[in-house]
Amino acid sequence: MSLASFNNSSLITGALLLVPILFVLYRNLTPSSSSDTTSSDSSSPSDTSEQEPKSIMQPARTDLLPPKDDPFTLNELKQYDGTTEGMPIYVSIKGTVFDVSHKSDVYGAGKSYNIFAGKDGSKGLGMSSLKTEHAVPDYSGLDEKDMKTLNDWHAFFIKRYNIVGRVSDLPDAVKDQ
Ligand code: HEM
């Protein structure tokens, strides 16, 4: 085996080993309500892992404002996608609109989770997908596991972001859910 091919196969082996490591790492990052204390939500009562790994996710907040109920159409939401300087950034999950402006480091233009800004991308959150085609409000096709992931994200956001309103024109398949 030539040195060049050895290096190539080492690289491929290294890359293959990285995939499960990243997966395990991310499993520890996905939302969990067990370390939260402000229990305004009851969607994940079974989430009680005893050995909570030290999370690098932001902690729950205790200074949230009373939730607002202002209606937003999906079209109106688009202006809050982080592309306009000085405008707030909004993320909607299952029709609940959250102000995520103080996390522009992840939701701002060009940042990792900008895909969820200025829209309701519930389906993608449930699927743990960052693909544009998945960041849509109709999550009706999600299986039980992905539905739990979506509900966990909703609970995560409720404890960390101010609610500024709700989407008034969700697709029929997920309206009133
Ligand atoms: C190996 C892949 C991934 C890694 C290493 C990773 C890493 C992280 C890290 C470090 C944070 C905390 C960020 C912060 O608070 O500053 C985070 C938060 C988050 N991640 Fe990921 N992530 C990965 C994949 C994904 C995927 C596929 C999704 C799609 C749903 C996703 C959605 C989120 C969301 C919504 C947050 C919450 C941000 C917040 O509001 O605090 N991540 N991730």
Q: Which of 112-124 are b and which e, b meaning 16 or more Cβ less than 10 Å from the residue's Cβ?
A: ebbbbbbbbbbbb
Q: For residue range 24-46, what is the model confidence (pLDDT) as tens digits?
A: 666 655 676 544 444 333 333 33
Residue 81 Cα to ligand 1 midpoint, Å, equals 18
Q: Which two tokens stand for residue 95?
A: 């029709």
Query: Above pLDDT 90, what percent of the chain?
Result: 67
Q: For residue range 77-88, what is the model confidence (pLDDT) as tens digits?
A: 999 999 999 999
* 18 C-beta closer than 6 A to ligand 1: no
* 57 C-beta closer than 6 A to ligand 1: yes
CA nearest 120: which of 140, 101, 141, 138? 138
* 156 C-beta closer than 6 A to ligand 1: no
* 64 C-beta closer than 6 A to ligand 1: no
Residue 29 Cα to ligand 1 midpoint, Å, equals 7
Residue 9: band (very low, low, confident or very high) from pLDDT cuts 50, 70, 90:
confident
Fold that domain 66-177 belongs to in CATH: Flavocytochrome B2; Chain A, domain 1 (3.10.120)
| pLDDT of 176 over the 90 cut | no
- pLDDT value of residue 52: 56
Residue 34 Cα to ligand 1 midpoint, Å, equals 18
Residue 31 Cα to ligand 1 midpoint, Å, equals 9
- Pick the residue whose CA is nearest to atom 14 on ligand 1: 57
- pLDDT value of residue 27: 61
* 26 C-beta closer than 6 A to ligand 1: yes
Q: Are 117 and 82 in contact (CB under 8 A)?
A: yes
Q: At 129, phi and psi to the nearest 5?
A: -120, 140
Q: At 167, phi and psi to the nearest 5?
A: -80, 130
- One-letter amino acid identity for 60? A
Residue 23: band (very low, low, confident or very high) from pLDDT cuts 50, 70, 90:
low
| pLDDT of 145 over the 80 cut | yes
Mean pLDDT of 103-121: 98
- Pick the residue whose CA is nearest to atom 12 on ligand 1: 57
